[in-house]
Structure 1
Amino acid sequence: MAEALLSAFLGVLFDRLSSRELLNFARREGLEKKLEKWSRMLHRIEAVLADAEEKQDNGVAVKKWLDDLRDLAYDVDDILDEFATKALQQKLTGANQGSTSKVRNFIPACCTGFTINNRLGSQIEEITDRFNEMVKQKDDLKLCENVDRRSRRTRETLTPTSVVTKANVYGREKDKEAILEFLVGEKCRDAQLSVIPIIGMGGIGKTTLAQLVYNDEKVQSFFDMKAWACVSEDFDAVRVTKTILESLTSENCEGKDLNWLQNKLKENLKGKKFLVVLDDLWNENYHDWSILRAPFEEGASGSAIVITTRNVGVSSKTGTIPAAYSLKELSNDVCLSILAHHALGTKDFSAHLNLKDIGEEIVGRCKGSPLAAKVLGGVLRNKMEPMSGKMY
């Protein structure tokens, strides 16, 4: 269980290390290569966790390696928090440059620029040295990738569908109403085709929000037809168009080329008010997007496409609204409810007060990510006794 918890927490770190805000900040401050190195070494370490879990009972050295890794992961998380704070301060001061904004006046002068002082520089080098030592020890301990885990990674991954259990979703009511206003509100009813991007980091709940909107009663009554397609990193216009067309018509389109598919889709959408969700779009090539979008121009006024993406470039090239809808992290209280739901099958820890403290410690490391809270809750499911020592 400890290995699974640690693995889930490393997943949160991977998302933080790949976030656009952090990468932009690191690039400005000359830290990009350092963070890339941390990410590479984390991936090498994460690959042997299952093997380390199996061997720790028979080796004190392996158990200590896992303990050291846990402590290192916490310290990386803390320094990423510091980077995030500095990045936000830069954003605020930049937005108010040359103005007399009250916001700027409340930011200390020492924070208006960011330089790596001796303390922070020493911390960065220390963490890098510890990473190097962890990788070296991994090899010395002869830890290797677990065959079962590797096979699980190479098999096809299930992609989310439009189906959602509303009772299992927490903390997204206001976000849902905001997207519904874009779709069925007065301002969008006369638009020929609205494209609404939902943007946010991995695991933050973009797909879940799209599912809630897609299944809402207001949407059901407002649109003549609707369809859902998962795009993913492997952008395939033929596959996506085929998925949408088959969803709308129940017609088997196997073996048809893009020209046939788009003409058929165009015929079926003509004069109809539709909603299409394109989940997990990564491709920011405007030419590709123009081709994919072409058949949707035939719909009636009020038609809409909702896009979920982690990529700012995608949202800027596809959206028709002034700004993409940015999905924010959930509060710790909401994450605690998600953890309780998946770990205990309850909405809170009122019936398991002895576990509440460890639950709060766990969600503190989730950084507002509902996916992290869900994964950790699944790992802890029906584990009714608190773990001894520190939380993994």
Structure 2
Amino acid sequence: MASREVMDYMQGKKQTQRLLDKLKSTLRSVNVVLDDAEEKQIINSDVKEWLDELKDAVYDAEELLSDIKTEVLKRKLEADQSGSSISKVQQLFSDSFLSFDEGIEPKIEEIFERLDFIAKEKDVLDLKVGVARRTKMRLLATSLVEDSSVYGREEDKERITKLLLSDDVIDDRISVIPIVGMGGIGKTTVAQLVYNDVRVKQHFDLLAWVCVSDEFDIVRVTQVICGFVTLRTCDIADLILLRYPRKTVGGYLQSMPSSVISAHPNLEVIGRQIVRKCKGLPLAAKSLRGLLRSKFSMKEWENVLKSDIWELSNKESNILPALWLSYYYLPPHLKRCFAYCSIFPKGYEFTKSRLVLLRMAEDFSRQEKKKPLEEVGVDYFNELV
């Protein structure tokens, strides 16, 4: 609303300006309860539906403002190309916006009424006012990469490695060693440890690593395996020609607890209680470490420890509570940037520069003084990393 194009458009349009001011005021009244709504939506479907309706209405408002900016820029470009004087440009704006204005004000009125209705529902849902204090995360300048040591998986790794190195062969059947457990327990990490073990590399003539996504495609997976074997791109689409693999299932690996030690003694007691809530899940502990590493207040740590999100059951959500928390405490502008990544399929590789440009196209980067939008987008990316 504060962009130069929108401000230029508003000059002399008192009724339109009043409508936008009312819209802005309504958005402020909703904004103060967003934090409470985002936490409650996990266990309250009515709140989740309210948030979804709010997002839809805000997106419509954003689209309307984008139309205004586009129209203003288009008219300025036409004026520049025609070499018109300032007075002629003003006249051009006045004439060309007549038809545009007729459609804009009713749209603003409609969006305002919709948002006003949604805003009044916040009282029915008992949403509380209060914005959580969120500190901006900053990367430490260092040439060292993050320590990727793995704890508590030595026994699991050895058991699987011994199975792989065993000469016990039953007929000519393909052996499968499944590693079973909920998301974040460290299944992939154990597989990577085994795959990169020197003994395993020396024992087998050929090793192949294939990532299977949620949308399982047996043809694609088998093509990748054949590519490892032949060292060529495999385009065969016939499963029989691809030697369709037979599968056997069995085995189960137990999880082992991880531990996190706080860098601040006064927070260690709370930190250990939070770790116990992670129930031995490495991904949970790692994500909360990223969340809490920039927070040094006892109150902030206690808020995480006592959050209702921990009480979620598997039936209510298939997302780890610790991951919900790490998302919940993100600043609003980073939430949008993070959620945008969900449009990519699992396992999809993207580059930082392309992702930054895509987010810029969606107007996710907020303008900062003396800083190009692309640099702002890179800052957002680094904060999320």
Place the TM-score, normalised by the shorter chain, in its bin: 0.3 to 0.5
Q: TM-score, normalised by structure 1?
A: 0.41
Q: TM-score, normalised by structure 2?
A: 0.42
Q: Which structure is higher in RCO with an 8 Å CA cutoff and minimum separation 6?
A: 1
Greater share of residues in strand: 1
